[in-house]
Amino acid sequence: MANIGFIGLGIMGAPMAKHLIDGGHTLYAHTHGKVPRALIDAGAVACESGREVAERAEIVILMVPDTPNVEEALFADNGVAAGLAPGKIVIDMSSISPIATKAFAQRINDLGCEYLDAPVSGGEVGAKAATLSIMVGGKLSAFEKVLPIFQLMGKNITLVGKNGDGQTCKVANQIIVALTIEAVGEALLFASKAGADPARVREALMGGFASSRILEVHGERMVKRQFQPGFRIGLHQKDLNLALSSARQIGVSLPNTATAQELFNACVAHGGEAWDHSAMVRALEKLANHEIGQ
C-alpha cells in the first residue's frame, strides 16, 4: 500500500480520492476550503498545503480545474514542488494545456521526480463508479508503477505517449463529446419540432448506427430536461478553448469545434455556466423558438 497525496477534492476529485482509501492506501489530502468530512471519516489526513502533501506522500495526484490552478498547486511558494524529494511521482489528472504540461513535466523532472499527465473522461458518474477513462502521457516505467492506482479509479487506462500526449488525447475527446452533444441536440430538436415524440425517436435511434453513449445519457437529459451538472458547461468551454488555442498554434482548422464553443458561449450568456454540458441544446432551442418535449 502506498502513501498517496491528493490535491483538489471537487465533484470528481472527492469520489476518486475515496476509491484510493477504499483500496487500502493512506491518503494525504488538500483542497481549497476544507477536506470533505466524508473523506476524513474514511481515513484521509488533511494537510495545510501542497508542500505538506508532497512531503508525506510518495505519489501526488492533482485534480483541479484549469492550467493556472495546476501551476499554482505545483509551483507556488508552499506548493507541491517545494515538498518533493527525488524518486517521487506527480500525476496531474486535471484537463489542461498540453503545451503547459510539457513545461510543468520538465520542471518536476529537474527535481528528480517523474511526471504523468493523466486526464480523465467519464464525468461525475464515472468518478463515483470508478469507471473513468484515463489517458496518460509519460514514461512507461512510471506508468507501470502507478497502474494499480489508476485501476482503482478507472477502467479504460491507456498510455498514449510522452508527457503532453495524455492532455492532447483529452482535448481530442472533448472535441468529439461536444460535437456529438450538438448533433444529438439538433436531431432531437428537429424531431420534436416536426411533431414526433423525441423520447420515442431517441429510443429508435438507440437501436441503429446513430447509437452512442451521448445519445443514451445526454439525449435522455435533453428529453427529460435534467440539466443539473455532471460536467459543467464552464469546464467544457475551458476544454474547447484549449482545443482552439492549440489548433491555432499548430495550424489546424477546427470549424465545428468553434461552432460548438459558440453554442456554449450562448448558454453562458443566459446564465448557464453551471448547467450540464448536455444543456448546449438550450442554445439550439433558442434559435428554433422551440423546446424539446413541447
In this predicted model, what pLDDT tens digit does every residue of 157-194 receive, in sequence order? 999 999 999 999 999 999 999 999 999 999 999 999 99
pTM of the model: 0.90
Under 8 Å between Cβ of 99 and 126? no
The per-residue pLDDT for 220 is 97
CA nearest 61: which of 112, 12, 128, 123?
Answer: 12
Collapsing DSSP to helix, strand or coil, 110 comes out as: coil
- The number of C-alpha atoms within 13 Å of 196 and in the hemisphere containing its C-beta is 13
Model pLDDT for residues 186-200, shown as the tens digit of each residue: 999 999 999 999 999
Under 8 Å between Cβ of 21 and 1? no
Under 8 Å between Cβ of 178 and 236? yes
Name 120's bridge partners.
134
- Cα gap 216→206, rounded to integer Å: 7
The per-residue pLDDT for 276 is 96
Which residue in 18, 170, 193, 286 is the catalytic one?
Answer: 170
pLDDT per residue as tens, the chain (294 positions)? 899 999 999 989 999 999 999 999 999 999 998 999 999 999 999 999 999 999 999 999 999 999 999 999 999 999 999 999 999 999 999 999 999 999 999 999 999 999 999 999 988 889 999 999 999 999 999 999 999 999 999 999 999 999 999 999 999 999 999 999 999 999 999 999 999 999 999 999 999 999 999 999 999 999 999 999 888 999 999 999 999 999 999 999 999 999 999 999 999 999 999 999 999 999 999 999 999 976
- Cα gap 252→233, rounded to integer Å: 24
The per-residue pLDDT for 163 is 98
The per-residue pLDDT for 294 is 64
- Active-site residue flag, 170: yes
Amino acid at 181: I
The per-residue pLDDT for 111 is 98
- Cα gap 118→157, rounded to integer Å: 9
Residue 289: alpha-carbon gap to chain centroid: 32
User: 205 φ, ψ to 5°?
Assistant: -65, -30
The three cell numbers of residue 75 are: 509551483
The per-residue pLDDT for 1 is 87
Collapsing DSSP to helix, strand or coil, 195 comes out as: coil
The per-residue pLDDT for 151 is 98
User: 25 φ, ψ to 5°?
Assistant: -85, 155
Under 8 Å between Cβ of 36 and 66? no
CA nearest 38: which of 54, 21, 25?
Answer: 21
Q: In terms of DSSP bridges, do strands 120-121 and 132-137 run parallel, antiparallel, or are they unpaired?
A: antiparallel
The three cell numbers of residue 268 are: 453562458
